[in-house]
């Protein structure tokens, strides 16, 4: 049985959670009543996240020799923990909470030293749905086949038939478009679905090549977190 970390680890967790929750304004009237009703669910989320953070701190101590007292003096880690805490308390999706734990570990282990990249990844973790995560993991798992396809219809068919995906056409296309907008993937020259395709024709010379759908470096870093959270 593994030994629990020193009490300072729970103090770090409590301070982070307290700081995030205290930022939620609760005044009078109906919002006060709503705040009262949310106390019990919020407490459950706080306890569940505290357990995830405890796991993260245990991993940092045992695998990276980063003890709680050292982490508490690291402003980059404290900021990442506070932001991850706010995101964790705002979701009920266990998949996203697991990825947020992996993010905390990665920052604490100095695996993501660039603070701008930390910010970009955390924004993605806050905004992306479980559907986004599912589609991105599908693209990675089946990339060798997907890279040979030049029609979005064919990629969607692969998603439904081979991977038994449950998203409908519109949701699948929207998620791909959103991932492209956030620079997680490049759609390249992939032809759109018929009902969305433009009527304009593009000229392709003999020397040119069709650019396949690609996962960007940002997408690869996000996938690293997803793999570590599994």
Q: How many residues does the chain have?
A: 230
Q: Is the pLDDT of residue 203 over 80?
A: no
Angle of the 115-127 helix axis to the 217-229 helix axis, nearest 10: 70
pLDDT digits (tens, 9 = 90+) for 100-156: 999 999 999 999 999 999 999 999 999 999 999 999 999 999 999 998 888 999 999
Tell me what the mean pLDDT of segment 40-59 comes to.
87
- Give the domain ranges of the chain: 7-127, 130-229
User: What does the DSSP 8-state code read for residue 165?
Assistant: -
Residue identified by tokens 């433009």 is: 198
What pLDDT sits at residue 189? 83
Q: Is the pLDDT of residue 20 over 50?
A: yes
Do residues 19 and 82 lie in contact, with contact meaning Cβ atoms separated by under 8 Å? yes
- d(CA 230, CA 225) in angstroms, rounded, equals 9
The closest of 126, 75, 120 to 99, measured between CA atoms, is 126
Which helix (H) or strand (E) segment holds residue 209: the answer is none
- d(CA 41, CA 11) in angstroms, rounded, equals 22
125 CB burial (10 A radius; 0-12, 13-18, 19+): buried
pLDDT band per the 50, 70, 90 thresholds, residue 15: low
């Amino acid at each position: 049985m593994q030994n629990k970390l020193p009490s300072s680890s729970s103090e770090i967790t409590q301070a982070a959670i307290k700081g995030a929750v205290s930022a939620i304004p609760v005044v009078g009237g109906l919002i006060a009543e709503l705040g009262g009703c949310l106390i019990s669910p919020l407490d459950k989320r706080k306890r569940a996240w505290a357990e995830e953070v405890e796991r993260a701190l245990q991993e940092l101590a045992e695998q990276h020799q980063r003890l709680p007292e050292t982490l508490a003096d690291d402003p980059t880690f404290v900021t990442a923990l506070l932001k991850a805490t706010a995101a964790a308390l705002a979701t009920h999706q266990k998949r996203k909470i697991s990825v947020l734990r992996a993010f905390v570990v990665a920052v604490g282990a100095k695996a993501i030293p660039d603070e701008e990249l930390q910010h970009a990844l955390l924004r993605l973790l806050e905004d992306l749905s479980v559907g986004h995560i599912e589609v991105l993991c599908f693209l990675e798992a089946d990339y060798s086949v997907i890279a040979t396809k030049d029609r979005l219809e064919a990629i969607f068919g692969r998603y439904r038939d081979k991977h038994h995906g449950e998203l409908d056409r519109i949701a699948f296309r929207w998620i791909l478009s959103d991932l492209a907008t956030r620079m997680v993937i490049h759609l390249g020259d992939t032809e759109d679905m018929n009902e969305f395709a433009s009527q304009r024709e593009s000229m392709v010379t003999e020397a040119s090549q069709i650019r396949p759908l690609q996962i960007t470096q940002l997408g690869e870093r996000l996938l690293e977190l997803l793999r570590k959270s599994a």
